[in-house]
Homo-oligomer: A and B are copies of this chain.
Amino acid sequence: MISLKMLIKNTFIVTMDQEKGNIEKGYIYIEDEKIREVGIGEYNEEVKGIKVINGEGYCAMPGLINCHTHASMTLLRGYGEGLPLMKWLNEKIWPMERKFEEKHIKIGTGIACIEMLRSGTTTLNDMYFMMPEVMKGMENFNMRAMLGTTIIGQNWEKQLSDAIDLKEIVKKKNNRGLLTTSFAPHSPYSLSFEALREVAQAAKQYKENIHIHVSETTDELDIVKQKYNMTPVELMVKTGIADNKVTAAHCVHLNNKDIKIIKEKDISVIYNPQSNMKLASGTPRIIEMLDENINVCLGTDGTSSNNNLNMFEEMETGVMLQNLFYKDATRISSEKMLKIATINGAKALGLEKLGVLKEGYFADIIMINLNKPNLIPCHDIYSNIVFSANGSEVEYVIINGKIVMDNGEFVDIDEERILYESNKFFKESI
């Protein structure tokens, strides 16, 4: 097999590597799926016949990692907007979801992938139904993804079995190592004790991550309290869920004991600030959790509660919401927030060689055009990325060493056709 080489030259580099920091003008040399070298100045070896990107005026940085979303739900962006929660679910979302077939999932996943790539997300932690169809979507767009089949309510045995099957389907396909799976029990309140215990055991047996919603609303707390006289986090311990590698979405309503458990069990907390604000769920105690060295990562949630998949917006809102909550604008730096959206996400998903631009790491790289009015001047690159960028500055996307977006245009993806067909589909079928 001939190895695939690529060089990014003359570029500003935010490595997120503690030793190297930022490089004003440097290069990144890529071989196959990995970064071979990150250096200052010019790359000295001959580069004839390989792809070279002139990164002048750009900032290369690790691709963003969206640790909690439901990509296919993009079908329902803005659907039933503004209704009270239960009316919205009962009259809009659930009846529509029941109608979903494979074609819906295919279209929803496609639109989501295009949106994510265009706004710099290269890896996602997904949770939804009909995952084999989602898998195909992710493959087509070269996304790095952890796929979790939702397990919820009465039908959990079938869903757990689907989740185990998915593991085999994904494994067989290989997918250049881009796709992995998780078990995704919906939440402590929406499954029986037995179901949670069985999922916990299956995850242990297969050494899989668990992706779960935890303590998102006060209603959820009341339900679990009434049923078990404990918190959702305590219920995760009791059922064995917490004995696995867990990524816990939301964690809005935690008491001190919950935080202590999360730390002890090394659970990754997924912060979804825009969803938590939009749905009026509340504000999670992120700064305190960071102070406890809990691994906090970032997610957009689905477009029906956000209503976009833009991680740049999420980073900005993520800092602002903590500033407001703790009445202190100095606690969470923009560099820290970028770490949350990159390295911490990689850690949560067990992807050790990801989230940093460094030799031996996966070449998941985005490049933002610094020559945009909202990024001038650049007194502080982290501040500009987190607070001033809106995501549309992303013009190059490389995942696993493969170029997916080149100078603003998709490679091997017919974006125009997909957008046209999706629009047509929605107008005709929803």
Q: Which residue of chain B has the shortest Cβ distance to A392 in the bound complex?
A: B392
**Contact: A383 with B330, CB < 8 Å?**
no
The complex places the Cα of A226 from the Cα of B379 at a distance, in Å, of 38
Q: Is A342 an interface position by the 8 A CB rule?
A: no
User: Known: A390-B308, A422-B376. Is A278-B323 also a contact (CB below 8 A)?
Assistant: yes
Q: Among the listed B115, B278, B333, which residue makes an inter-chain contact with A319, where contact means beta carbons less than 8 Å apart? A: B278
User: Known: A334-B82, A379-B430, A422-B377. Is A277-B307 also a contact (CB below 8 A)?
Assistant: no
The complex places the Cα of A374 from the Cα of B310 at a distance, in Å, of 9
A327 CB contacts on chain B under 8 angstroms: 280, 282
A290-327 vs B, Cβ < 8 Å mask (1 yes, 0 no): 00000000000001001111101100110111011011
User: Known: A278-B320, A280-B328, A377-B77. Is A384-B426 also a contact (CB below 8 A)?
Assistant: no
Q: Is A89 an interface position by the 8 A CB rule?
A: no
Q: Is A4 an interface position by the 8 A CB rule?
A: no
**Contact: A278 with B387, CB < 8 Å?**
yes
**Contact: A324 with B283, CB < 8 Å?**
yes
How distant is A329 from chain B, measured CB to nearest CB, in Å?
5
Task: Select the residue from A84, A372, A374, A379 with max chain B CB neighbours within 10 A.
Answer: A374
The complex places the Cα of A102 from the Cα of B186 at a distance, in Å, of 59
Q: Is A142 an interface position by the 8 A CB rule?
A: no
**Contact: B376 with A279, CB < 8 Å?**
no
Q: Among the listed B320, B329, B373, B377, which residue makes an inter-chain contact with A430, where contact means beta carbons less than 8 Å apart? A: B377
Taking the full assembly, how many copies of this chain does it contain? 2
**Contact: B279 with A329, CB < 8 Å?**
yes
**Contact: A279 with B323, CB < 8 Å?**
yes
How distant is A287 from chain B, measured CB to nearest CB, in Å?
12
The complex places the Cα of A258 from the Cα of B403 at a distance, in Å, of 57
**Contact: A377 with B277, CB < 8 Å?**
no
Q: Is A397 an interface position by the 8 A CB rule?
A: no
**Contact: B115 with A374, CB < 8 Å?**
yes
The complex places the Cα of A380 from the Cα of B333 at a distance, in Å, of 36
**Contact: B323 with A277, CB < 8 Å?**
yes
**Contact: A371 with B279, CB < 8 Å?**
no
The complex places the Cα of A318 from the Cα of B101 at a distance, in Å, of 36
Q: Is A274 an interface position by the 8 A CB rule?
A: yes
The complex places the Cα of A312 from the Cα of B390 at a distance, in Å, of 10
The complex places the Cα of A374 from the Cα of B118 at a distance, in Å, of 9
**Contact: A310 with B82, CB < 8 Å?**
no
Provide a sorted-by-A list of 15 A–B residue pairs whose CB atoms are within 8 angstroms.
A75-B377, A77-B379, A78-B380, A81-B380, A82-B383, A119-B390, A274-B316, A278-B320, A278-B387, A282-B327, A303-B388, A308-B388, A308-B390, A376-B423, A390-B391
Across the A-B interface, the 7 shortest Cβ-Cβ residue pairs: A392-B392, A78-B383, A277-B320, A377-B426, A115-B373, A81-B383, A114-B373
Interface residues, chain A, with chain B CB atoms under 8 Å away:
74-85, 111, 114-115, 118-119, 274, 276-280, 282-283, 303, 306-310, 312-313, 316-317, 319-321, 323-324, 326-330, 333-334, 371-374, 376-380, 382-384, 387-388, 390-392, 415, 419-420, 422-423, 426, 430
Q: A282-B324, A376-B419 are in contact. List 19 more A-B contacts (CB 8 A).
A: A74-B377, A78-B383, A82-B329, A83-B330, A111-B373, A111-B376, A118-B373, A274-B316, A277-B323, A278-B323, A280-B326, A306-B387, A307-B383, A312-B390, A321-B324, A373-B419, A376-B426, A377-B426, A378-B426
